[in-house]
Amino acid sequence: MHACHSCVGRNLIDVKDTLKRFRIKCGMTKVRMELKEKIVSSYVAFENDIDINSEIHDIRTEALQNFEKLGFPTKKLEAWKYTSLNSVLKNDFSIFPNKENSIQFADVKKYFIHDIDTYKVVFIDGKYSSFLSDVTHDGKDICLMSSALSKSKYKAVIENYFNKIAKQDNLTSLNTAFANEGAYICIPKNIEVEKPIQIINFTTGNDIATMIQPRNLIVVEENAHVQIIERHQSLTENAVLTNVVTEVFAARNATIDYYKIQNDKDNSSLVDNTYIEQKTNSEVSVHTFSFGGNITRNNLNFIKEENTLILF
């Protein structure tokens, strides 16, 4: 019995295609594993700059263990079956910037809102920029997560709200493991914040590829009202991966207007996990404007009581 030459040829092509797909899959698995191992090993260096004896650090350590177990999300997961991170994870990301960078206001002026006066919480490569920021503790706290996580005056709020509604999935766990910097906003009851708050994360590209992981906590108490504008902006042609987690708590009759502006460069990717808990008669509006970037993924998660209003 003899096989025809055309059938043998087709079979050889099929085998080659299968082998090619297998090699690509194995290659991506290796890349994911190498990045995962790099992140896990860098945790020791991260611990050198924080209080490892705090309850917050216990939360971080548990989150790291969860990320070690889960790894990066793949298309095998139902929530990620239409999104592949392969093109992003092939980069050799710097987990921490090699040096602190500064930028001139004139170079980034166009990314700020100038028509109205605002509070500003600005970060450069994940580090707070006091030069570009305008924060306050006058009757409300609009400041830094690093302060809130380390100072006793914020302990009650942190214990009640930090990491209480964030899921323990792949990338949220990764963010929680390295949670240290971001915006901390706490508005007391019956306070209407007189001007909007801008949260801006700039990435300079001094590293070949940069990963930043902002962690924001926003607590708005009863009958309070606040407007927030959040922006992530790359200033480089180098690869950037931003893995941001924001927890938002709206108490009874609170009002939050949240604007997310996403208009980044083609080499910049953003995974934004926002978790919002609403109490009775609260109103939370989330307006997301996505215009540019490589991969942009917004995961909005609402936990609400009856008689709450959600707009997005």
DSSP string computed for 236-270 = SSSEEEEEEEEEEEE-TT-EEEEEEEEE--TTEEE
Q: What is the largest CA-CA distance in the chain?
A: 90
Write the pLDDT tens digit of every residue in 182-237: 999 999 999 999 999 999 999 998 889 999 999 999 999 999 999 999 999 999 99
Specify the 3-state DSSP secondary structure of 17: helix
AA identity, residue 228: I
Report the sign of the C-alpha dihedral through residues 163, 209, 120, 54, in that order.
Answer: positive
Query: Which phi and psi angles does 196 have, rounded to 5°?
Result: -65, 165
pTM of the model: 0.88
Write the pLDDT tens digit of every residue in 91-126: 999 988 766 778 999 999 999 998 889 999 999 999
